[in-house]
Amino acid sequence: MFAERWICFCCPHAHKLQRSIVPVEQVPSKKSSKSRVKKKSDITLSSVIIIQSWFRRRQALFEIRRKAAWTIYQNIEYAGEQDQLKLYNFFLDLMQAVAKDPREALVIAKVLRRSSSLSATAEELELTESTSPETVNIEPSYKGLHVQLPINKGHFEALILGFQRGESLHARYVLLILHEVRRILKRLPNINVVSTHQSTCVTVIGDLHGNLSDLLLIFHKNGLPSNENPYIFNGDIVDRGSQSIELFILISVAFIVYPTNVYLNRGNHEDHVLNLRYGFMKEILRKYKSHATKLLHLFENIYRWLPVASLIDDHIFVTHGGISDITDMTKINRIQRSQYVSILSPSFVIPETDEQVQINSLSNDQLLEWRQMLDLLWSDPKQENGCEPNTYRGGGCYWGPDITDQVLKKHNWSLIIRSHECKEEGFDYCHGKKVLTIFSASNYYAAGSNRGAYVKIFKNQPLAIVQFLATKNTVKPLTLWERVSHVEEQALRNLMEKFSANQSRLMKEFRLKDPHQSGRIAINEWCDIVTHVLELQLPWRTLKSRLVDIDSNGLIVYESSFRSRELQCCINSQVINRRQSLCQTIYRNKDLLETVFRAIDKDNSGVISMQEFTDVCVFLGNHNGSKFDEKQMTDLAKSIDLDKNGVIDFNEFLEAFRIVDIGLRTSNPTT
């Protein structure tokens, strides 16, 4: 009865104007039968409203928790990426300046150069020889699929079934497929030319990040790729997820079978520098062990041949990151894209030999060209006008609606489709619907965190966006409560790790604010310290009840964050066990250390020399503000080199630093 006139805050679309409720207290209580009926219905009404209001309150509390969890994920993700890029940026900066310490220079040189630079023909020869499928034998025990050229639809379908069953494809056949892909990619222009003329529709897929189940769900909903059903894959196929290699193989095979109807765009993660840190390299090492080096070497030589964008019907521009104020199709087409082995360190930047430790200085043209490439794969849109460097990511630009208009007009385009950013609904429009973000990895942060989506571009119809969510059991959709719990749990776990990893620094600041040693500080102070030490802008007031104990006076019992979890170091070394803050420093920089160690480890043996180990730690300490004390690190290195053979297994070393649950302590904490 009152329904038709409300603006309902639970459903965002507004209805007509409002009416205010008459509170039950104002209803006169007469004893006539007529008004008794009236009074009863008023009481009923107010009772209904009480229940409805309290329920909506509860929903809102969960909603803010969900959004806070999302903020945690994004902040931590970007902080990580930012780290990675900062690392590379300052390697390059340091190379430009004269490296004063030759040891440092050597570290930088080793990190930046993955493989030595040969002439183009020499390189081809080297590649063919070292990564030929012929160099890998099939053991009799191999029961998986066998692949021979020519690769056909049958292989594609068999691989889908095999991967679904959890099977692996033998390294020999992976090499075979990758060589085929490379051969075809080399012939392609920098920008794919796509037309809906033939098939009336083309489907664009965004980031997949190793989520095989999402791709299979898309094929199920949208059909397998074919000459009648073309696909554009807009980058970031690998890294983060656990089935990057299977995904890349499937997409490669589809590409080989339908080379004029499957289009690949390079993403910022199609880059060995990022693979070092974000999981793809680890996955290959784990799944292919002794053959991993060959595969990695070949991947490094495939990424550079991936086109950087696609243009549909001359008016829809599809690229992984986005654009910037200098984006120019003519210029992009002229670039020799194969120089960009890594978008972050193209070959003309890296010195050619070990002896050369200074970066080559670049001409203005080279710098601009580099920016063209970087901007396409790393940029993000922003709300305000203008174009500025993307310091959040450390590469590419933030571009505003005026830049979109400018670039669209210049090229006579009508729409930019890009990916690169995770969106809750799997897609998002901005800049007056002239930019569409499409993201196809559902459950990216945690189960239930977000949907995936893909977009279908039609010849004579408006485009259509299709959403999906890969779930293990499709019995019933998760309720709000279930979704929030799942998503939040993992986010909070990630956050608690940061607390443990920064325990010494946090406790030092807490104690400064607690001169009477009561173990408690005010909420405001706790929030300020946590923001400052962890360098995370998060809604701490909303989160605090899940991170720390609060006493009856509303004060924060700051030590309680550290009671259930502890950073432990399982290395048999007296040096480390006495030094909690050194432990924590190493743990905090685990990802960075791992990246640099792995980059130095050219033969992927998992082992580097003690000298290299110490050099890296000290180097990072000098330039990262993380204070790896040189003496401490040298002592540490010596103490863990029990075999005295001068090498360290860095995987083992890093894995020894772990945050473990220790349950509630009853005794007083020591450090």
Partner 1 sequence: MATPTDAASAAPEQENRVTLRDPIRESEERANQARIKRLTEAFNVFDQESNNTIPSSELGTVVRSLGLVPTEGELQDILSEMSDDSNPESIHLERFLNVMNTILKDRRYQGEPESKILRAFQVLDTQNNGYLTEDEFRNYLCKEGEPFNDEEFQDFMTIALDDETNHKCTYKDFVQHLIVEDND
For the annotated catalytic residues, the residue numbers are 269
Q: x/- site string to partner 1, residues 66 to 95, per CB under 8 A?
A: -xx--x------------------------
Q: Dihedrals φ, ψ of 162, to 5°?
A: -60, -45
DSSP assignment of 580-634 equals: HHHHHHHHHTHHHHHHHHHHH-TT--SEEEHHHHHHHHHHHHHHHS----HHHHH
Question: Is there binding between residue 52 and partner 1 (CB under 8 A)?
Answer: yes
Interacting residue with partner 1 among 30, 36, 37, 51 (CB under 8 A): 51
Cis link prior to 150 (omega < 30° from 0)? Answer: yes
Q: Which stretch binds partner 1 (CB under 8 A): 114-122, 269-277, 540-548, 631-639?
A: 540-548
Crossing angle of the two packed helices 480-501 and 580-588, in degrees rounded to 10: 130
Question: Is there binding between residue 391 and partner 1 (CB under 8 A)?
Answer: no
- For residue 5, the minimal CB distance to partner 1 (Å) is 10
Q: x/- site string to partner 1, residues 431 to 470, per CB under 8 A?
A: ----------------------------------------
> Hunting for tokens 């990246």 — which residue is that?
595
Task: Determine how β-strand 452-458 pairs with β-strand 464-468.
Answer: antiparallel
Give the whole-angstrom CA distance, residue 587 versus residue 566.
12
Interacting residue with partner 1 among 336, 545, 572, 645 (CB under 8 A): 545
Residues 268 and 236 sit within 8 Å (Cβ to Cβ): yes
Interacting residue with partner 1 among 89, 391, 479, 518 (CB under 8 A): 479
Interacting residue with partner 1 among 36, 37, 55, 458 (CB under 8 A): 55
* Closest alpha carbon to 249 in 332, 184, 159: 159
By beta-carbon proximity to partner 1, the closer residue of 48 and 118 is 48
Interacting residue with partner 1 among 60, 118, 125, 512 (CB under 8 A): 60
Q: Which stretch binds partner 1 (CB under 8 A): 107-115, 286-294, 321-329, 479-487?
A: 479-487
Give the whole-angstrom CA distance, residue 353 versus residue 363.
21
Interacting residue with partner 1 among 56, 315, 578, 665 (CB under 8 A): 56
Q: Which of residues 6-35 bind partner 1 (CB under 8 A)?
A: 6-12, 14, 18-21
Interacting residue with partner 1 among 30, 37, 59, 642 (CB under 8 A): 59
Give the whole-angstrom CA distance, residue 178 versus residue 169.
12
By beta-carbon proximity to partner 1, the closer residue of 60 and 660 is 60
Question: Is there binding between residue 411 and partner 1 (CB under 8 A)?
Answer: no
**Strand residues in 424-517 grouped as ranges (E):** 427-430, 435-438, 452-458, 464-468
CB atoms within 10 A of CB 385: 12
- For residue 464, the minimal CB distance to partner 1 (Å) is 24
By beta-carbon proximity to partner 1, the closer residue of 89 and 479 is 479
Give the whole-angstrom CA distance, residue 308 versus residue 282.
25
Structure tokens at 22: 């008459």
Interacting residue with partner 1 among 158, 362, 523, 547 (CB under 8 A): 523
Residues 389 and 324 sit within 8 Å (Cβ to Cβ): no
By beta-carbon proximity to partner 1, the closer residue of 37 and 48 is 48
Q: x/- site string to partner 1, residues 31 to 50, per CB under 8 A?
A: ------------xxxxxxxx
Q: Which stretch binds partner 1 (CB under 8 A): 65-73, 81-89, 112-120, 506-514?
A: 65-73
By beta-carbon proximity to partner 1, the closer residue of 545 and 605 is 545
Q: 635-658 burial, b for 16+ CB within 10 Å, e for fewer? A: bbbeebbeeeeebbebbebbebbe
Q: Which stretch binds partner 1 (CB under 8 A): 122-130, 259-267, 539-547, 563-571?
A: 539-547
By beta-carbon proximity to partner 1, the closer residue of 56 and 627 is 56
By beta-carbon proximity to partner 1, the closer residue of 58 and 220 is 58
Task: Determine how β-strand 565-569 pairs with β-strand 607-609.
Answer: unpaired
Question: Is there binding between residue 63 and partner 1 (CB under 8 A)?
Answer: yes
Q: Is 25 exposed, middle or buried (CB count within 10 Å of its CB: 0-12, 13-18, 19+)?
A: exposed
Question: Is there binding between residue 58 and partner 1 (CB under 8 A)?
Answer: yes
DSSP assignment of 102-122 equals: HHHHHHHHHHH-SS----HHH
Q: Which residues bind partner 1 (CB under 8 A)?
A: 1-3, 6-12, 14, 18-21, 43-61, 63-65, 67-68, 71, 383-384, 479-481, 523-524, 527, 539-542, 544-545, 554
